[in-house]
Every structure is written in C-alpha cells, then in structure tokens.
C-alpha cells in the first residue's frame, strides 16, 4: 500500500467510522474539564481493559476526584474500588497515585507536554504518551496499540513484529497530516469491522485496497 492509497483508505474510513462509537479514551476526552489529565487517567486505565469498563471506571474516578491533587489525596484502596474491574486495577491504582503525586509536586498539577517527561510517569509507555499528546494536547504523535499494529501490517503498509517498531515505521512513512487521527480511525475500524479474529472483509469499504497480508480467515 503506497501513500496515495493510504490517503484514499483513511479518507473512506473516516466517513465509515461515524456510524460507530469512538474509543473510550476519546469519549472521556470530549467531555473533559482538563483534557490532558483526563486523557492520561483514562489511557492508564485502558490497558488490557475493554472500552466499556474503561469508560465507566474513568467516570467513577474522575467524578470522585478530578485533579492530580485530589486523586493523590485518596487512599489506594478507594482508587482500587472506584476503578474495579479494570485489568490490573491494584497496580493501576498505585501508578495513578504516584503519577498524581509527581504531577502535583513537580509539574504544578499539570500534565507535561513532552514525550520524555511523560515516559517518566509510572505506568506510562509510548502508547499512552502518544495518546496524551495527540488526544490530550492535539499535538503530533502516532499512538500504536494492537489494532494499529495489526491493521497496518495487514494492509502491508508496514512490515513489523512489535507495536513500537510499527510506531517508528509509521513515523517514517505515514503522511504527517494523518498522525493525529490514525489511531482513532484504526482502533474504531478494528473494534467494529476489521476485528482480530475473522474480520468482516465482505463488508469492508476498503477491501479492494487491502492485500490481507498474513490473513488466514475472514467473513
């Protein structure tokens, strides 16, 4: 898949995904009072967790405490109760507490606007940092989760084995104007149509552009 084709595919999918619900992190960000911070919180909670659970847990926690200072003041057991049943909820509660303490003490209660500083926060990897930069701040970045990694390789647009490799490959190849929206488009597409097990190729609006690299089964 070359650059002119990726432009066409993303344009078609951008129209298609309007029919589906956007990912949980985007839902939280759209109604956020502090968009970078609430994006950070919901993204930390989203790891290994379904969107419906992430959205509900984010809402419960942020309704109880909506700033780094107020979350840092909560007991760990209360955060655990509020975010349960997200995956690894005890670990995430500890990470959120420490992250909010750092934000309060070192950044005046604000989320830092830079990859290097974000990666120093507990529980924050490149996926989370990129999502905070793109969704939280509206900056350029490429967030790669399992859907982005899988579909980018399915299209033959990249040839990588790990999500971090995919991020760097996309930084080299993907036109910059798509960086901010690539994750939202592919995640929504991957959750609803191009699903991991037996994707709905017969219904896909971009099937004619897709070489289906490595795909063994589809519907």
Parse the chain into domains and list their residue ranges: 3-21+141-209, 32-136
**165 CB-near residues (< 8 Å, 6+ apart):** 158
Q: Tell me, what's the pLDDT at 22?
A: 82
Residue 34 annotated in active site: no
Which of the residues 51, 92, 127, 184 is marked catalytic? 127
Q: If you average pLDDT over every residue of the chain, what do you get? A: 95
Q: Would the pLDDT of 96 be above 90?
A: yes
Q: Tell me, what's the pLDDT at 21?
A: 83
Asked, colleague to colleague, whether 3-21+141-209 and 32-136 share their fold, the answer is no
Which 3 state secondary structure label does DSSP give 33? coil
pTM exceeds 0.85, yes or no: yes
Nearest Cα neighbor of 122 from 76, 54, 62, 163 is 76
Q: Tell me, what's the pLDDT at 1?
A: 82
Residue 21 annotated in active site: no
User: Residue 133 — pLDDT band, cuts 50, 70, 90?
Assistant: very high
Check: CB of residue 155 under 8 Å from CB of residue 1. Answer: yes
Q: Tell me, what's the pLDDT at 4?
A: 82
**168 CB-near residues (< 8 Å, 6+ apart):** none
Which of the residues 145, 159, 173, 184 is marked catalytic? 145
Fold of 3-21+141-209: Endonuclease Iii, domain 2 (1.10.1670)
Q: Tell me, what's the pLDDT at 174?
A: 97
User: Residue 50 — pLDDT band, cuts 50, 70, 90?
Assistant: very high
Q: Return the ∠ at Cα 186 (arms to 180 and 188), rounded to 5°.
A: 105
Check: CB of residue 186 under 8 Å from CB of residue 148. Answer: yes
Q: Tell me, what's the pLDDT at 193?
A: 95
CATH H superfamily, domain 32-136: Hypothetical protein; domain 2 (1.10.340.30)
User: Residue 68 — pLDDT band, cuts 50, 70, 90?
Assistant: very high
Q: Tell me, what's the pLDDT at 175?
A: 95
């Amino acid at each position: 898949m070359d650059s002119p084709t990726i432009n066409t595919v993303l344009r078609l999918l951008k129209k298609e995904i309007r029919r589906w619900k956007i990912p949980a992190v985007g839902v939280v960000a759209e109604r956020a009072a502090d968009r970078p911070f609430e994006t950070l919180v919901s993204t930390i909670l989203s790891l290994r967790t379904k969107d419906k659970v992430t959205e509900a847990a984010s809402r419960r926690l942020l309704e109880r405490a909506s700033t780094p200072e107020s979350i840092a003041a909560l007991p760990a057991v209360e955060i655990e109760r509020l975010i349960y049943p997200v995956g690894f909820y005890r670990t995430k509660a500890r990470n959120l507490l420490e992250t909010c303490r750092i934000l309060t003490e070192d950044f005046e209660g604000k989320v830092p606007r830079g990859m290097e500083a974000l990666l120093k926060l507990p529980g924050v990897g490149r996926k989370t940092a990129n999502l905070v930069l793109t969704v939280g701040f509206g900056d350029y970045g490429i967030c790669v989760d399992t859907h982005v990694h899988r579909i980018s390789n399915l299209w033959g647009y990249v040839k990588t084995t790990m999500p971090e490799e995919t991020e760097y490959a996309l930084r080299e190849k993907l036109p910059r104007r798509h960086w901010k929206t690539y994750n939202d488009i592919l995640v929504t597409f991957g959750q609803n149509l191009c699903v991991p097990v037996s994707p709905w190729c017969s219904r896909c609006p971009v099937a004619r552009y897709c070489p289906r690299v490595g795909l063994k089964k589809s519907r």
